[in-house]
Structure 1
């Protein structure tokens, strides 16, 4: 709060003092006919008024800055009524009452929203757990009958069910992940097993190298992220060439895991929107696309302190990069 703003709020007081000074000054000048006395009286009058303003401004600014700091440091702003003291000024009590009532109503709504969100998440997790049983049974029947086409469709269903589960959990990853040491090679190997039939069935040339790097992350969450990336790479693969490259690059502060496909690519105007929820693009094949895979993956990467970026050239390639910090230093290479 600036002193100029303080004076603007007290323009009536200043105007009233000027009127009073003119009245009493005229009266004193009539009695004593002394211009010097008038100047002395005016100087004393406005010096006292200025001192009063400075003291009042200092106290008000201290209180203003205190409230501003408390609010800025508060993570949950709707709880502001709990930290602000009740004002002494009668004119401020009405605003304090309105703030307290409004914040209380907001607190109740937030609590209700959290309760509903928790119930929804528990329902989704229960539903996924139940639906996994028939999916596993159908998958086993496909293996027994060697029906590869039906097996692929069952795998797609399983991936979509997993996507629902991870989306439901994406806002509460802090309660569901375990950071531990693993290798890029092991992570990629686990994901490639899930897409083995698709890769072989689509005659995709797979090139893997430089994956002997150790990183720290949650295996379950990164497995989901990698599966979303590989699923897109295979889904949008061109007829020729059909190539998929997976490799890593090590920098001073981070390690980049790079997945590059020779697919149909992404138009330049679409690249900034690939992480938007529900965005499927204008030129890409949209059959059964949800537009949620990369959105959830980006959300999970942010919570795991990983960087996820996409580079592409329409009709040539798409390159997805996951950046892992080395050790516990969450610092990304600015050149990568």
Structure 2
């Protein structure tokens, strides 16, 4: 019994239209064979049900053309019938009349009331019911009215699915409809004459009597009579949640109260289920955030058992780690628990337990009553506790579960599907957190190993640069000494051989220096600070001025941004890219363009030339150490310049690539974060 108007638009339309009855009311009146009609303020009949047409003998079409006053004998008029209605009020009036039907005159009783129209400026229509008097005339008009009201009320009350109880001022029940038995189990006939307190829970009876007495004395209401939710007492002892509407009336000088109520258990159960789901979803969300933010698995497991017991309103919750390779067979090691005191790390045999069944099946095990469940005669995982019901789910993959999550209660209990889903979601979070912890541990170990390897590599490169440079310098010096002292004795081949040897030693020295520089990009770089790339590029062009002039290169530069970075390394990056663009220009004068464009959170900076280009198959190889695409006779270089560029860009949190076609030039593009993040 919900408060407020119906949400059914068809019903609303019926009730608002002049000349039509609400569908539900018309059906009830028809079922009770009660004739009903409507009359406009002008005296025109605007509606009548089938019972009314049967009573009068006129068809609906004939009634539409018939004035209301034409139905009555003895000069009875609409005006005289409604004279008993107080102006502006809708209180009913009942009058005995003689109805002139098509064939005869029959004694009847007419019950009238005013019904307002939607347009408040229009006069209310008159609605009424009429009953033929099939019994000898009553002693007064009031007795006819009582008969009409009684039968009408009985027809309505018997058809309603809601319970109706009529009380007197002593809270004694004067009437109960059949729905009362369906809702509260009480026989309506047996209730009549008894006290209402029989259907009120004992804990609320005195407050009801006190509130009734206060209302009779002062008119003060302590609850909302239009709609209030109160429990009713069922005959089998349990309480039934009811939605109740109350009203009172006076009849023959006595005061009565009417209670209309409906069983709202389905709605309450739905609300309770929704509340439980919300709590469980919030718990899952909280645990998910905690698993991401907190690397301490034991702390998270402890918090998990606390939340699980609260969300499921259970007594105990545990997390056990499964050790399948124990010396005495598979065991379960306690990692966290709530609701009892057990030493952390304590082990229990897995065989025969509820957890063993979950581990074997890989799915949840739900127990509503352990005493009557034939599947289990082994212990639960909560020692020395009177466990009666519970859920056990596995943590981790079915093929190799990490452990189990259990929740137990001491009472017999039915678990809903969403309870099992909730526990499985929590187990998934635990498994994910444990897996992530393993990844992080292995990642940290890998990082540590890489750092150690890089440190050894740098130490090696440093040692190599010193240990190898000295013999190379000695070789180069002695070759030059031979050339200067014995030049007259050497023929052309001898001098050429010496030049080759000196050139090789110099190239080896350059390669060793480049390797050392490559190894120190991350460890020997300067701290990041704001860097104006326009200023950096200007310095690079100054250094390359001779190369630019000799090659007659044209270099066009768009405005470049300010970024966070290592200015020394960024200068080397631009110098390598620009010198390559000039050097690999081919036979024509180089045309180089430097541009910058912000894309999302990154700057994209490009160096484009119109030189010899690069074969698509070689576009990744050019960034590898000592990888050369041309012979030394064609182009100089150590093959490490672009590898240095990649290391510098990666240190700055970006990436570098090249777009090129043979003979069509090359465009080297690198990104660098606009906000300085790496």
Q: TM-score range by the shorter chain?
A: 0.5 to 0.7
C-alpha deviation, 1:308, in angstroms: 1.9
Q: 1:167 aligns with which of 518, 540, 553?
A: 518
C-alpha deviation, 1:198, in angstroms: 1.9
Q: 1:304 aligns with which of 652, 664, 677?
A: 652
C-alpha deviation, 1:302, in angstroms: 0.8
In the alignment, structure 1 residue 273 sits paired with structure 2 residue 639: no
In the alignment, structure 1 residue 46 sits paired with structure 2 residue 354: no
In the alignment, structure 1 residue 68 sits paired with structure 2 residue 435: yes
Matches within 5 A, 1:85-100: none
Q: Is the 8 A contact 2:465 2:513 kept in 1?
A: no
2: CA distance, partners of 1:116 / 1:322: 29
In the alignment, structure 1 residue 119 sits paired with structure 2 residue 459: yes
The match for 1:77 is 445
User: Deviation per CA, 1:137-160, whole angstroms, max 9, x where unpaired?
Assistant: xxxxxxxxxxxxxxxxxx999975
2: CA distance, partners of 1:256 / 1:211: 13
1: CA distance, partners of 2:450 / 2:620: 32
Q: 1:292 aligns with which of 624, 637, 640?
A: 640
User: Deviation per CA, 1:271-314, whole angstroms, max 9, x where unpaired?
Assistant: 24332333334899864554322222112211111332211122
**TM-score for both structures, normalised by structure 2:** 0.30
User: Deviation per CA, 1:82-137, whole angstroms, max 9, x where unpaired?
Assistant: xxxxxxxxxxxxxxxxxxxxxxxxx9x88975663353244357679999x9xxxx
SS at match of 1:324: strand
**Inter-CA distance 68–258: structure 2 relative to 1 (3 Å threshold):** closer
**Inter-CA distance 297–127: structure 2 relative to 1 (3 Å threshold):** farther
The match for 2:591 is 243
The match for 1:181 is 530
SS at match of 1:264: coil
C-alpha deviation, 1:194, in angstroms: 2.7
C-alpha deviation, 1:256, in angstroms: 3.0
1: CA distance, partners of 2:567 / 2:509: 18
User: Deviation per CA, 1:145-200, whole angstroms, max 9, x where unpaired?
Assistant: xxxxxxxxxx9999756533321213xx2552222222222111222233222221
**Inter-CA distance 182–130: structure 2 relative to 1 (3 Å threshold):** farther
C-alpha deviation, 1:315, in angstroms: 0.3
C-alpha deviation, 1:57, in angstroms: 5.2
Matches within 5 A, 1:15-54: 46-48=375-377
Q: Is the 8 A contact 1:124 1:168 kept in 2?
A: no
Unpaired stretches in structure 2, ≥5 consecutive residues: 1-321, 331-350, 357-371, 382-390, 396-401, 406-429, 474-505
Q: Is the 8 A contact 1:241 1:262 kept in 2?
A: no
The match for 1:21 is none
The match for 1:314 is 662
- Give the structure with the higher percent strand: 2
C-alpha deviation, 1:268, in angstroms: 1.9
SS at match of 2:376: helix
Larger Rg: 2
**Inter-CA distance 271–317: structure 2 relative to 1 (3 Å threshold):** same
SS at match of 2:650: helix
2: CA distance, partners of 1:126 / 1:183: 35
2: CA distance, partners of 1:264 / 1:175: 35
C-alpha deviation, 1:70, in angstroms: 2.8
2: CA distance, partners of 1:308 / 1:289: 20
2: CA distance, partners of 1:263 / 1:284: 18
Deviates more, 1:242-251 or 1:265-274: 242-251
C-alpha deviation, 1:215, in angstroms: 2.3
**Inter-CA distance 164–272: structure 2 relative to 1 (3 Å threshold):** closer
Unpaired stretches in structure 1, ≥5 consecutive residues: 1-5, 18-42, 80-106, 134-154, 331-336
**TM-score for both structures, normalised by structure 1:** 0.56
1: CA distance, partners of 2:608 / 2:393: 66
Q: Is the 8 A contact 2:518 2:647 kept in 1?
A: no
Q: Is the 8 A contact 1:254 1:325 kept in 2?
A: yes
2: CA distance, partners of 1:199 / 1:158: 26
C-alpha deviation, 1:227, in angstroms: 2.1
C-alpha deviation, 1:220, in angstroms: 1.0
- Give the structure with the higher percent helix: 1
**Inter-CA distance 158–325: structure 2 relative to 1 (3 Å threshold):** farther
2: CA distance, partners of 1:195 / 1:315: 24
